[in-house]
Amino acid sequence: MKRRDFVKSTALTAIGTSVVAPLSALAESPVTHFESEDLSATAAGPDANGYPLNFIALGDWGRNGECLQLETAKQMGDWARVNPSDFVLALGDNFYPKGVVSEYDPLWHYSFESIYTAHSLQGDWFAILGNHDYYSEPDAQIRYSKISRRWHMPARYYTKEVSLGQGKGKVLFVMIDSQAIVQNYQDQHPEKQLAWIDQTLKEASADVKWKIVVGHHPSYTVGPRVSNYDTLAIRKVLNPIMEKHKVDVYLSGHEHSMQHLKPEGFTHQFISGAGSELTHVTPGVAYSRFQASENGFMYFSIDEKRLNVKAISVTGKLLYNTQLTR
């Protein structure tokens, strides 16, 4: 499948033919399951790098271009022009200071559309909510999916599967709404969401090679929130589920830095929350493999045996490069 076809079919999947997951009975709001897309090696754009799946992960960004948001966006565009990128994952705190009030809020223009302008960034963005997005109207970010071709948030939590090629298995993304869990918002029925996460991971098909949970709040960090309520709250309820189902990666934002942490257990934690404002990190913590308080984004490249992660700075510097293998 050519890249152009992939983009088109993804958009159709998101807008037209979303399939409601069988587990939706557990969820309060409808949960959308994206059909698997076939990303053969030939689908790669600029320079095929040997991986059938590549994507950018960016959190904590929408500040009207300030705090190096604009410069980081430009670097993302440059990166995606010469490196294949199938989509962008937006990891929450998409709009500071207080989310958006509607799908017509001017911030869509000032903090998103006029910032991530590169042609290479016009593919699909799959987004989740952060705590700041909750201050106004979180569901406006779901509704924007109907206006924008590239923005996809089908529900407050949802799944996405991507094929790694014929007979090569697939990657399961479980996109969660961690703010509802951390704050225990009763109207959002966090216990139902947790049951859904558990069930979704449990029922992952045998050809799922990598399980990636994507949420806004990290469950470990070496930033300012090392032992904050948020961090401990999400760790308490999410980590047992991720360990039970051998989740390979928990990818989050919330901390305004980039980190790779490997606490005891199975799951690797990556934080990519350096889309605009920065906060400090503390080096030397036993479970940390990498931390940087620099603007930038993470770039994931995955095949059936390798999961490669790079941290790229706002100036295009490769800050970190690591690979998990099967």
Task: Give the binding site for Fe ion (CB under 5 A).
Answer: 60, 93, 130-131, 254
- Closer of 254 and 260 to Fe ion (Cβ): 254
Question: Does residue 303 contact residue 51 with C-beta atoms inside 8 Å?
Answer: yes
Nearest approach in angstroms of CB 59 to Fe ion is 7
Nearest approach in angstroms of CB 1 to Fe ion is 36
Nearest approach in angstroms of CB 63 to Fe ion is 10
Query: Cα separation of 292 and 39, whole Å?
Result: 32
- Closer of 23 and 56 to Fe ion (Cβ): 56
Query: Cα separation of 309 and 325, whole Å?
Result: 11
- Closer of 46 and 65 to Fe ion (Cβ): 65
Query: Cα separation of 175 and 271, whole Å?
Result: 15
- Closer of 80 and 182 to Fe ion (Cβ): 182
Residue nearest to Fe ion (CB): 93
- Closer of 56 and 172 to Fe ion (Cβ): 56
Phi, psi of 218 (to 5 degrees): -70, 155
DSSP letter string, 176-240: --HHHHHTT-GGG-HHHHHHHHHHHHHT--TTEEEEEEE-SS-SS-SSTTTT-HHHHHHHHHHHH
In the chain, the amino acid numbered 254 is H
Nearest approach in angstroms of CB 217 to Fe ion is 7
CA 311 to mean position of chain CA atoms: 14
Query: Cα separation of 24 and 301, whole Å?
Result: 30
* Burial class (CB within 10 angstroms; exposed 0-12, middle 13-18, buried 19+) of 38: middle
Query: Cα separation of 57 and 310, whole Å?
Result: 10
- Closer of 90 and 241 to Fe ion (Cβ): 90
Nearest approach in angstroms of CB 285 to Fe ion is 20
Nearest approach in angstroms of CB 101 to Fe ion is 19
Nearest approach in angstroms of CB 298 to Fe ion is 15
- Closer of 165 and 224 to Fe ion (Cβ): 224
